[in-house]
Amino acid sequence: MNDISKNNSQNQPLTQHLSQLTLAELPEHIDIPNYDRKNLKAGIVHIGVGGFHRAHQAMYINELLKTPGSEQWAICGIGLLENNRGLRDTLVKQDYLYSLVVRHPNGQIDNKVIGSMIDFIFAPENKQTAIDKLAHNDTKIVSLTITEGGYNLHPITGDLDLTNPDIMHDIASPNDPKTALGYIAAALKVRQANNSPAFTVQSCDNIQHNGAVTRRMLLTLTEKQDPALSQWIEKNVAFPNAMVDRITPVTTKVDTDYVSETFGLIDEWPITCESFSQWVIEDNFSNGRPNWDLAGAQFVQDVTPFEKMKIRLLNAGHSVLGLLGSIHGYSTIDETVSDQDFANYLSAFMDLEVTPLLDELDGIDLVAYKETLIERFSNPNIKDSLARICSESSAKLPKFLIATITENLAVKRDCSLAALVIATWCLYSDKQVNQQQQALDIQDAMQEQLHEYAQQTGSDKLAFLKLSSLFTDLIDQPDFSQLYINAINLLYVPTSNIKNIMKTTLEQKLNKVALETK
């Protein structure tokens, strides 16, 4: 598929959208849904139709639908966010079809149209329609990509954050939900009342034990709303844990232009992703499931070691490069990791501060896994922005990085490489510019609070760590706070240079390790 005959080489303005009707006009090298979409039924209702879902789960179903027998497993999307209105309009215009451009590290490109989504409900405008769809007996699985923050997990209690205004609203008004959990509870209430089988709730977010966490959050919510419903859920609903993986950058104009040129049709929201994809799922479903393994997913008894490996290496690795690279002035992951100083720092972080915490995994060679990560991050055809990686760090870092720090401290293992990353996050939140004095593009629900704490660092070096909803008791752990102060001292010199600081920190770390192993 390297040899792409451009369909729109004359650069004529395009007038036609990608749709069921125009599929036939696509150049032959494009992989289109060759199954009868009219016969499909939405056995899966998916909440949170972002780029990742469309590059991952929807792609697996698309592959599965190419062989007969899975027609009942198409997808109906649900958008809960006000900014999903535009997505709904686009998908309706395109008969829920969209293009997926898969970019390999060697430059090979696979161009696809994904046809597994057959409906989309914009919930803020159609609450009851969304609840009815979830409650419909054809819905066997409700899957979720609602981001790490969407679960409202309180980092200190480990339970549902009952002070969150939307959760408070959903407890007080169960028939008028705002959150994904609230919608699921309202739909399961209908199932319970009708004595119908429960659907499975399947999380596809980067949270360790994502199924168990979803279960705990939903049980706490329903316990407050209606204890009998909570007990029914406890007995009847399965929440499989899963590890999901595929790097999917934010769609840019470059991607849209590429699709216009190559497909010769307008697609208002194409998705570009890397060629690597992995999905490891616990085989625990309450109401049937597609044979995802036929499309490349893997069913296992216990996903714990897979998810820990992925979240603590890949996701944390992204955050390490994201924060350090942003402060330096880089803008994408591939650019950052191509700089040997950053690649060395990342490798040392993975080898010395994460690997000792990971369990042995049958059939997985950790050394090779880490090498593949560096290769994936280096893919020059995936322009994954550091702004995306650093977005919502307040929801990500507790799960990706702070958990690693806490576990290392518990066994008295040095975590100076991670400490520099947290200190860099402080500088990033405080100054909001990189070391070239250019403004950073920061997107974080807690941005104001992060800034408020970070900006006191000048007078109180530990001020940022006082944000206990993120850092729990790290401030009281001298083994950490001392490393953090050292890092702040280096970073807060007016002419400081992150690369030199990384080199110094790494050198000191390697010396410490050498002494320990003597």
Q: What is residue 360's DSSP assignment?
A: P
Q: Which is nearer to ligand CS2, 95 or 205 (CB)?
A: 205
Q: How far is the CB of 242 from ligand CS2 (least distance, A)?
A: 12
Q: Which is nearer to ligand CS2, 174 or 325 (CB)?
A: 325
Q: Which is nearer to ligand CS2, 192 or 206 (CB)?
A: 206
Residues 318/333, Cβ–Cβ less than 8 Å: yes
**Residue whose C-beta lies closest to ligand CS2:** 318
Q: How far is the CB of 4 from ligand CS2 (least distance, A)?
A: 26
Phi-psi region of 296 (alpha: psi -120 to 50; beta: other; left: phi over 0): left
Q: Which is nearer to ligand CS2, 111 or 393 (CB)?
A: 393
| Residue that the structure tokens 């593009």 belong to | 441
Q: Of the candidates 206, 216, 217, 162, which has an alpha carbon nearest to the alpha carbon of residue 397?
A: 206
Question: Hey, which bits of 250-319 come out as E strands?
Answer: 271-274, 278-282, 298-300
Q: Which is nearer to ligand CS2, 205 or 414 (CB)?
A: 205
For residue 197, the tally of other CB atoms under 10 A from its CB is: 13
Q: How far is the CB of 205 from ligand CS2 (least distance, A)?
A: 9
Would strands 109-114 and 98-103 be described as parallel, antiparallel, or unpaired? antiparallel
Residue 287: φ, ψ to 5°: -150, 45
Q: Which helix (H) or strand (E) holds 79?
A: strand 75-79
Edge-to-edge order in the sheet of strand 271-274:
109-114, 98-103, 271-274
Q: Which is nearer to ligand CS2, 245 or 430 (CB)?
A: 245
Q: How many residues does the chain have?
A: 518
List CB contacts of 183: < 8 A, sequence separation 6 or more.
47, 78, 80, 123, 130, 131, 134, 177
- Here the tokens at position 443 are 């997107």
List CB contacts of 223: < 8 A, sequence separation 6 or more.
230
Q: Which is nearer to ligand CS2, 246 or 509 (CB)?
A: 246
User: Per residue in 358-367, is it b (16+ CB within 10 Å) or e — as a string?
Assistant: beeeeeeebe
Q: Which is nearer to ligand CS2, 134 or 314 (CB)?
A: 314
Q: Which is nearer to ligand CS2, 315 or 336 (CB)?
A: 315
- Here the tokens at position 379 are 């893919």
Q: Which is nearer to ligand CS2, 32 or 361 (CB)?
A: 361
Q: How far is the CB of 280 from ligand CS2 (least distance, A)?
A: 12
In the chain, the amino acid numbered 28 is E
Name the site residues for ligand CS2 (rule: CB under 6 A): 206, 245-247, 315, 318, 389, 396
Residues 309/369, Cβ–Cβ less than 8 Å: yes
| Residue that the structure tokens 């027998």 belong to | 69
List CB contacts of 488: < 8 A, sequence separation 6 or more.
423, 426, 457, 461
Q: How far is the CB of 401 from ligand CS2 (least distance, A)?
A: 11
The Cα-based distances of 206 to 154, 245, 310, 397, 400 in angstroms read 16, 9, 9, 11, 9
Q: Which is nearer to ligand CS2, 91 or 247 (CB)?
A: 247
